[in-house]
Structure 1
Amino acid sequence: MMLPMVETVMGLVALVVLAVSYWRYKWRDRSNSGKFPPGSMGLPFLGETIQFSIPSKSVDLPPFLKKRIKKYGTLFKTSLAGRPVVISTDPEFNKYVLLHEGKLVELWYLDSLSKLVGHDAQDLEVKTNATGYVHKHLRHLILNHMGPESLKEKLLPLLEATAERTLDAWSTQQSVEAKHGCSKMIFEFTSKLLLSYDAENSGENLTEDLRTLMNGLMSLPINIPGTAFHKSLKSQKKLLNMIQGKIAERMASPAETREADVLDHVLEDMKTKSFLSEKFVTYIFMGLLVASFESITSALIMALILITDNPQVVEELVKEHECALRKRSSGAVGITWEEYKSMPYTMQVVNEALRMTSSGPGIMRRAIKDIEWNGYLIPKGWTIFISQSGVHLNPQVFENPHVFDPSRWKQLDGGNVTGRYYIPFGGGGRQCAGAEFSKDLCAVFLQVLVTKYRWTKVKGGEIIRTPMLKIGGGFHIKVSKIQE
């Protein structure tokens, strides 16, 4: 009776030994071809994912990054969610990588993010990465509908009306949790702009599903009830169903009833672009909704928290916007492009909020060939993870980087900083096409807020850094209209 049990135990021990041996062999330095960056690969499969996800109640770097940068420097190796990763806060290496898209690196996501946002979309990007054709087409599409010309011609007044409607609703409540309120506003606006989805009257709460989806982007891809990844997959399904329903509805509708939105543009392109399958189009819109939802919401809520804690910044904003209103011609209705462009201090506030936010987990690429850098080897197939917060909180570039100081942007050399030390929207050929739209939305919201409303903090507002930015306890404010 004991013999089978002993054999079983011995077999398990052998498997463990083989697994550990394989792990050590897999991650050991290639003595003949170069040395890996310093660092630890952690445990098999888990790697250092748990340590990476430990939150920090501070605007400072998360403990994971801070500890390893101090120990290993600005370039180090680790393993996240079962994949070998090199994490970089080195501005020169980051720029080198982002400028060699398609030659040394390709777009890449970790498994959980890839499966939640769209594995097929990533596969197509990878296959066409050498020419960047798909990316160029999508970038042109976004710029056409959300870029500077579209903002100038039609979107600015729509953004202003949205901000006014949102703040007016907030002023009727005892208090509002500002991040939830901002995310709701942003989802309603972008979903309408992209595919004419009426979120306000849909009867669904897809804003909450987007929040759940975001919580699972950097989780281990374990689809077991109760895990963040499992919850995210359920929310993903709801969002995909909505997008697929809009696509089917639009394809079945007569051409003369079309909405002239981004979806109509894509459906028209499907007639001539073979890569635009219905499934790929679905994931395009999933990616656009996720990107706009998280990045703009985080930047706007960070700006609100920071200016609330710095009344002197609010005073400067009020001065600038009241001056702009006095200069507005009598026939002008609402904010104009020229007015928006003449708000230097507002843009300094937005830039500073974006610098301190670094809302996304980071910029990810995959090495498509071995990369040599300063004596280190980054093997083909490894993920490169550029930490935006690690770059944005560099004390050698930004004096007292943890201090909210919009005026610092007066002295900074924009040409030297942007592209190396300030990358809220990525860099190289893949810099976010919606960057101007994001900044405009924040600026317009701030203008409406400081000229027509006053607000006080009720509770919350604790900034927590994990791979994603979180607000501990929410940020609850009481908003009141200024009596005219």
Structure 2
Amino acid sequence: MYSPLFYIGTLLLVAIFNWIYKWKNPRCNGVLPPGSMGWPLVGETLQFFAPNTSSDIPPFVKERMQRYGSIFKTSLVGRPVIVSTDADLNYYIFQQEGKLFQSWYPETFTEIFGRQNVGSQHGLMYKYLKNMVLNLFGPESLKKMLPEVEKASMKSLERWSHQNVIDMKEATAQMIFDLTAKKLISYDAKTSTGNLRENFVAFINGLISFPLNIPGTAYHKCLQGRKKAMNMLKTMLQERRKSPRKIQSDFFDYVLEELQREDTVLTEPIALDLMFVLLFASFETTSLAITLAVKFLLDHPLVLKELMEEHNTIIQRRESSESGLTWNEYKSMKFTFQVINETVRLANIVPGIFRKTLQETKFKGYTIPAGWAVMVCPPAVHLNSTKYKDPLDFNPWRWEGINTHGASRNFMAFGGGMRFCVGTDFTKLQMAVFLHCLVTKYKWVSFKGGNILRTPGLQFPNGFHVQITKKDP
């Protein structure tokens, strides 16, 4: 006779094996894409977050593309995910936004960016928030901001030229944050009682890290940074409510007007999450792109030569060499926009764009079950050798004669479809104006750093330290 414990143990083992089998073989009313679901609960999350120094397609994705093809299944942070490196499926996903797919991010991302963040909004609320942002970053607003962006760039470069060495990533991030925070909330670090950007630095360090919320981990520090930044923003909003301004002077004023309207759909939590995301997105991604562009220009003298010629020509055509940039001059920077597109193609700052399947979807013989997550993988598209010759080479001339201002099946550095990044034009303006100020009046040499690390997002773990000096008159 076997003891009761033997039977209980046997049943428990059967239950565990059955659970593992179901995890590794999810139910589907068709053919799931090939792939591995990894270990129960953990899935392949550890492999996805494993640091790498490659500029190529992330090893996690590349290895599975070679094994399973351009569409495969996996599991990340407890969710079944279909990974798409297929340009046709990516395009289909973006075009079916709100019908078959909707914006979705893992629970950890929602915790970081806020449950009311713009990326988690859908339908009319998303369109409403998008229009609010366009009020700040639309073409007419950018025309007015152009002199401010140029002034900020010139002032920063002048200051840096008097320092022995600067970390380009840190310096440009501070420059852009100061400008954006002023436009959004009239924030001035010199007069403020708290350092708002310090909290964003803590936030950034754990943004794309393994989601373990235990004191001491990068993810925990990230959440603490968000909490402190949100408390500062909430305090600012409350103070502004007590002493409203007669004339709208920043985005906070605009938000307050919207909150006070009787028919408004805006709430304070949504407004604060929007402000948080705008502050983060405006400086972190752009400073990474500028840093990489400066590094590429140093490594590719022929590119730098042509860029300098374009910007020197702009100055030579002016009646006064001391005149500031005009909107027409900015729009004429064809080669500059080619440099920007090539930089963000290789940067792949966003390693994945997430959506959720609203209903069962069939594509190329595969079935994606309702409720599953889908991750569009921009690096796999941008570094596809059948679409880009020598894809790892920095070659701005490949963009000659191609529209450099939108998204396509083979270019999604700023997203795609109806959720194409509304801050794209602002990013390009900042990059183009900064490069104009840099190459016309300054020269620079690399001191140390410049190595990249992906976790899977782009980082410069040792910074990129350069020495900037003024050119001879």
Aligned residue number for residue 88 of structure 2: 92
Aligned residue number for residue 130 of structure 2: 139
Shift of residue 195, structure 1, vs aligned partner: 1.5
The DSSP-based 3-state class of the residue aligned with 1:223 is: coil
In structure 2, how many angstroms separate the alpha carbons of the residues matched to 1:419 and 1:41? 31
- In the alignment, structure 1 residue 193 sits paired with structure 2 residue 183: yes
Shift of residue 449, structure 1, vs aligned partner: 0.4
The answer to whether the 8 A contact 1:112-1:229 is kept is no
Structure 1 residues 214, 56: closer, same or farther in 2, change over 3 A? same
Shift of residue 138, structure 1, vs aligned partner: 1.7
- In the alignment, structure 1 residue 102 sits paired with structure 2 residue 82: no
Gapped regions of structure 1 (runs ≥ 5): none
Aligned residue number for residue 69 of structure 2: 73
Cα deviations by residue, 1:151-200 (Å, 9 ceiling, x for unpaired): 12x11110001111111121121101111111111211111111111135
Structure 1 residues 24, 411: closer, same or farther in 2, change over 3 A? farther
Aligned residue number for residue 177 of structure 1: 167
The code of the aligned residue for 2:324 comes to G
The code of the aligned residue for 1:231 comes to K
In structure 2, how many angstroms separate the alpha carbons of the residues matched to 1:238 and 1:210? 9
Structure 1 residues 219, 22: closer, same or farther in 2, change over 3 A? farther
Shift of residue 202, structure 1, vs aligned partner: 3.0
The code of the aligned residue for 2:21 comes to R
Cα deviations by residue, 1:33-86 (Å, 9 ceiling, x for unpaired): 111111111112211111111222221122111111111111111111111111
The answer to whether the 8 A contact 1:55-1:62 is kept is no
- In the alignment, structure 1 residue 336 sits paired with structure 2 residue 333: no
In structure 2, how many angstroms separate the alpha carbons of the residues matched to 1:398 and 1:98? 22
The answer to whether the 8 A contact 1:107-1:122 is kept is no
The code of the aligned residue for 1:24 comes to Y
The DSSP-based 3-state class of the residue aligned with 1:308 is: helix
The DSSP-based 3-state class of the residue aligned with 2:443 is: strand
The answer to whether the 8 A contact 2:448-2:464 is kept is yes
The code of the aligned residue for 1:353 comes to T
Structure 1 residues 21, 213: closer, same or farther in 2, change over 3 A? farther
Aligned residue number for residue 377 of structure 2: 387
- In the alignment, structure 1 residue 345 sits paired with structure 2 residue 340: no
TM-score (norm 1): 0.91
- In the alignment, structure 1 residue 42 sits paired with structure 2 residue 32: no
Structure 1 residues 387, 201: closer, same or farther in 2, change over 3 A? farther
The code of the aligned residue for 2:417 comes to G
Aligned residue number for residue 225 of structure 1: 215
- In the alignment, structure 1 residue 18 sits paired with structure 2 residue 7: no
Aligned residues: 470
Aligned residue number for residue 420 of structure 1: 409
Identify which of 295, 302, 321 aligns with 2:311: 321
Aligned residue number for residue 436 of structure 1: 425
Shift of residue 16, structure 1, vs aligned partner: 6.4
- In the alignment, structure 1 residue 243 sits paired with structure 2 residue 227: no
Identify which of 23, 28, 31 aligns with 2:25: 28
In structure 2, how many angstroms separate the alpha carbons of the residues matched to 1:440 and 1:10? 70
Aligned residue number for residue 467 of structure 2: 478
In structure 2, how many angstroms separate the alpha carbons of the residues matched to 1:284 and 1:413? 30
In structure 2, how many angstroms separate the alpha carbons of the residues matched to 1:283 and 1:183? 20
Aligned residue number for residue 160 of structure 1: 150
RMSD over equivalenced CA pairs, Å? 2.3
Cα deviations by residue, 1:301-333 (Å, 9 ceiling, x for unpaired): 111111111122111111111100011233983
In structure 2, how many angstroms separate the alpha carbons of the residues matched to 1:10 and 1:183? 62
The DSSP-based 3-state class of the residue aligned with 1:479 is: strand
Structure 1 residues 322, 287: closer, same or farther in 2, change over 3 A? same
Structure 1 residues 15, 284: closer, same or farther in 2, change over 3 A? farther
Gapped regions of structure 2 (runs ≥ 5): none
Cα deviations by residue, 1:419-444 (Å, 9 ceiling, x for unpaired): 21111111101101111110010000
Shift of residue 205, structure 1, vs aligned partner: 4.2
The answer to whether the 8 A contact 1:178-1:476 is kept is yes
- In the alignment, structure 1 residue 398 sits paired with structure 2 residue 398: no
In structure 1, how many angstroms separate the alpha carbons of the residues matched to 2:40 and 2:466? 45
User: Structure 1 stretch 301-310 or stretch 287-296: which is displaced more?
Assistant: 287-296
Aligned residue number for residue 447 of structure 1: 436
Aligned residue number for residue 449 of structure 2: 460
Shift of residue 209, structure 1, vs aligned partner: 2.9
The DSSP-based 3-state class of the residue aligned with 1:372 is: strand
